[in-house]
Amino acid sequence: MDLRDLAPIGVLFVVIAIALSMGGEILSSLSNQQTGAAQNITNYGTEGISKIAKWLPTIALVIAAAVVIGVVLTSFILRRK
């Protein structure tokens, strides 16, 4: 993995975040129009998307930490040669 590979990963992360937020908005607007079982299903979908979206900052932190550790280790390995 090279530092040049980080741009597509960052774009992918942003696209996932946008898709989750749009999906949550769509499901919440559908929930207001539904009744009975359909409303329960959309409410569960909204709750699931919300739980996944709450993990995005943690995932970003882990990715950033992995990149920093990779850069530090690579610099130490290159310094020894």
Taking residues 20-48, report their average pLDDT: 90
Q: Give long-range contacts, CB 8 A cutoff, 24+ apart: 42-50.
A: 49/20, 49/23, 49/24, 50/24
Q: According to the model, what pLDDT value does residue 2 have?
A: 66
Taking residues 2-18, report their average pLDDT: 86
CA distance 47 to 21: 12
Percentage of the chain surpassing pLDDT 70? 96
Q: Where are the domains of the chain?
A: 3-80
pLDDT tens digit sequence for 51-80: 999 999 999 999 889 888 988 888 888 777
CA distance 3 to 20: 27
**Model pTM above 0.75:** no
